[in-house]
Amino acid sequence: MASQQALMETQRKTLKVRIGVGLGVHELVRNRAELLTVCLAAEKHGFDSLWFSEVAAGHALDPVAALGFAAAVTERIKIGTSVLVVPGRPPALIAKALATLHLLSGGRTLPILGLGTVHAAEQQAFGVSRPERGPWFEEAVPLIRQFWTEEAVYHHGPRFTADGFGVRPRPGRPLPIWLGGAHRTELRRAGRLGDGWLASFATPAEVSAGIAIVDATARKHSRRIDEDHYGVLMLYCLREPTPQATSFLAWRRPDLAIAEALPVGGAALRARISDYIEAGASKFILIPADHPPDWDAELAELAGEVLTLQTP
């Protein structure tokens, strides 16, 4: 036990910490000019990545369309989905869209895939019932990888048939696919199918426990997930949150006090990220809890507060 703890401590000291910016699922970008400012400011101020989440029946931008925009106006910053909903989308079309984005971005695309939120409107939007989402996902993800690597795919499953066709462009090798999710079933799925795991709105203790389940499941299936492939999506406020922000968090994590769910101010945010690093996470998606009055100023201030935590 002592040697295992020592190994975990060594791994934590060598984790490559990277910090990105996300737009979440609430109304943070209202028009083209704002999105352009976000993309350029995130790159200019040194963030590692820019992320788009998906809620069809809500304010979030369509992640594939938004990624295409971001790829066109930036040069360096990585761009990703946090998460892209799989149930309701044919795997061949997911593979083609993400491979196209990877090509047009110059190899900067990072897909995180998921089942979608547990909400009646979302289930209607994607046309997949809640019990069917897991089986759809389980069949689709391996197929996406096949479409990225094989010229002709053969698959005859309960939902999808591929009788010797392929898609172009192909990225040459499978893109690393991270999975979201918080329930034990979703964590085990990440261990079996994923190349990484993204926790959302989780406490450091929940992140630590989730990493343990994902890692143990991967080992059970003779797989290995790199210790750098664990991340956290989190809300933050540099100043006192508005009632709208606290109301959203009360809905999203009603079991947590607001102070536990939302770090307020630079010092609290740095401390929370450090707690997550101690728990084993090293990749971070920071989403402002409120619409910033000035996106460039917001990201400049945020960079000054947290980017010192990134490792070389």
CATH number at residue 132: 3.20.20.30
Secondary structure (3-state) at 18: strand
> Rounded to the nearest 5 degrees, what angle is found at the Cα of 88, between the Cα atoms of 83 and 91?
80
What are the tokens at 28? 């943070």
Cβ-based burial of 46 (10 A; exposed 0-12, middle 13-18, buried ≥19) = middle
> How many structural domains comprise the chain?
1
Which residue positions in the chain have pLDDT lower than 50?
1-8
Output the CA torsion sign for 284, 289, 295, 296: negative
- Tell me the torsion sign for CA atoms 264, 270, 273, 275: negative
Q: What tens digit of pLDDT does each residue of 84-114 get?
A: 999 999 999 999 999 999 999 999 999 999 9
Neighbours of 296 (CB within 10 A): 15
The pLDDT assigned to 3 comes to 46
The label of the residue with tokens 């069949």 reads: 139
- Residue 1 confidence (pLDDT): 43
Residue whose tokens read 């929370």: 272
Q: What pLDDT was estimated at residue 12?
A: 53
Alpha-carbon Rg of the chain, whole angstroms? Answer: 19
Q: What is the pLDDT of residue 119?
A: 84
CA atoms within 13 A on the CB side of 112: 30
Return the pLDDT at 118: 84
**Can you spell out the DSSP letters for 26-91?**
SS---SHHHHHHHHHHHHHTT-SEEEE---TTSSPPPHHHHHHHHHHH-SSSEEEEEEEE-TTS-H
CA distance 282 to 29: 27
- For residue 5, the model assigns a pLDDT of 46
Give the model's pLDDT for residue 251. 87
DSSP single-letter state for residue 121: H
Parent domain of 152: 2-309
Q: How far is CA 282 from the centre of its chain?
A: 13
